[in-house]
Structure formats: C-alpha cells, structure tokens
Amino acid sequence: MQELKPIQPVPPMARDMDLSKYRLPSTGRLAGETISIDYDDGGVATLQLTETRVVWEVTSSDEKLSGEDDYDAVEMRPGLFFLHFAADEAGLGLTSVIDREAGRAITIWNVAEERGGEWDLRRYLRPGRIAGHDGAYQPIAQSRELIGRRAYCIYSEEAALEHIYMNSAAIIWQWLLLPDDPRFDLLRTEVGIEAVTIWKVREDLFLLVLRVPGPVQLCLLMDFEQMRNVGYLFGRGQMGLVNRPVGAKIVHLNDLTYPAGHEPG
C-alpha cells in the first residue's frame, strides 16, 4: 500500500542547474552615458554608467539612496536594454527595462528585509519617462495579451520550463527538462502556479514579474519576436545574496482563444 502524500511545489528559482547558457550576451554599449528616469510616482533615478560599473542615485518623496556597483545590461532589441544591478549594502536590487526609442522605462525595485529571523523580498514597479526625450510619453502598462499562451523556455541542455499563462495574474509552470541526476527525479512531475504581473514593453515583448511570498524572486523580459528571454533571480538565500542571471530560448507552442463572455480574469 502506498500513501498518497501531498506534493509541495518548490519555486523554480531554487534549482541548482544551468539557467543561463542560452542567455543573450551582456553589452557595454551604455558606457559613458548618464540615464535619468522620472518615475510616474514622482521619484527619480540617475544612472552614470561605465562599461561595468554604475554610479546610481534614486530619490523619492521621503528618501534618497545612492551607491556604486557592478551592473549587467543586455540589449534586447536595438536601443532597448534590460539593466540590472544589486546594491548589497542598501539591500536593494534594481532591474530596469529602458526603451530609449520610446523614451520610457520601468524599474523593478526589490527590497530584501529580515523579519523575525526570516528573509523576505518586497517588490515595487515604477514606470517612468526617460529624461530629455522629446517625443510623447506613453507609460509602459500592464497587459492581458499573453492570456491563453503556452510556451517553454530552454535555459540549457539540462533545464527547460513550460509556462501556461492562465489569466492576468497567474501562470502555471512545469519542468520539461531536468539534469540527468536522481536528485531531481521528484521534480519531473512537479507543477506550480505563481502569481505574476505582466507589462507590455513593445509588440511581442513583455516583462513578467513574480509576485509571491519568499526571499528570492524572478523577473523575465520575454521576447516573442526573437524567441528569447533574459532575467534575474534576486533576493536573500541561506548563504547570503542571490543575484543570478538567467536567460533562455523560447518555444511558442500555441494560444488558446476564449469565447466572448468567458475570458479569464
């Protein structure tokens, strides 16, 4: 007789496997530039960039923070950058999608906090305008366009993860490829559901941000035109700062269309 015990899903970022082999290459093209973002909530971020370092300052109505740290940038499309840096001393991870052509950006503001001996990660999203851009400003906004889409992301020869976009606030995922190692056998039938928020940056280009409890969280910039994604895992683990780049090839399987009046929320 076999007892049917409940299966407790584990977030995908907990895996010890190669999640970056197919990540698009980093770029130093922003070296020598200063980028200022005027956020819609009144805050301001200023980034002075060398090839590998950023001198940064962020202000809001009640605080001002600054520092100098290593950064990573990927030019996802011409003039559109996925830029991330970890400010460990400030307990911050700032990830920005910067669209210089449209003169707009959006920043994921990650704040690692310790509560009762446990780490948690608070996340804020801040759309804004790139200072000095002359054109009309249209903020990056939330999107429902991915609802019903099914795709999988191949991170390496040992890691592939399927996404099913269920509604405007949730995806279902499962592993399609795992390392050939018996330690991963229990994960081969694992399925999880995650709360997310999805923002449309350009046509077929979406920012996906997890919004679940936990000390380490994921964000992905999903490009369904060139079929690639780039992202970061950021937070605090048992061994300290988690600041891990990820990236994959995307395979689009199909889209499900719902009849009028029966669309997901």
Over residues 54-91, the pLDDT tens digits come to 999 999 878 899 999 999 999 999 999 999 999 988 88
Instruction: Tell me what the mean pLDDT of segment 200-212 comes to.
Output: 96
Residue 60, Cβ density class (10 Å: 0-12 exposed, 13-18 middle, ≥19 buried): middle
Please write down the long-range contacts of 18-21, taking CB distance under 8 Å and 24 or more positions apart: 18/155, 18/156, 18/157, 18/158, 18/159, 19/155, 19/156, 19/159, 19/233, 19/244, 19/246, 19/247, 19/248, 20/155, 20/156, 20/244, 20/245, 20/246, 20/247, 21/155, 21/156, 21/157
Q: Which residue has the higher pLDDT, 62 or 22?
A: 22
Instruction: Tell me what the mean pLDDT of segment 215-221 comes to.
Output: 94
Strands 216-223 and 228-237, by their bridges, are antiparallel
Q: What is the pTM of this model?
A: 0.92
Is the pLDDT score of 135 beyond 50? yes
Over residues 145-174, the pLDDT tens digits come to 999 999 999 999 999 999 999 999 999 999
Is the pLDDT score of 181 beyond 80? yes
pLDDT at position 12: 46
Beta strands, E only, 116-239: 118-130, 141-142, 149-156, 159-167, 170-177, 191-202, 205-210, 216-223, 228-237
pLDDT at position 8: 52
Hey, what are 213's tokens? 């409890």
Band of residue 14 on the pLDDT scale cut at 50, 70, 90 = very low
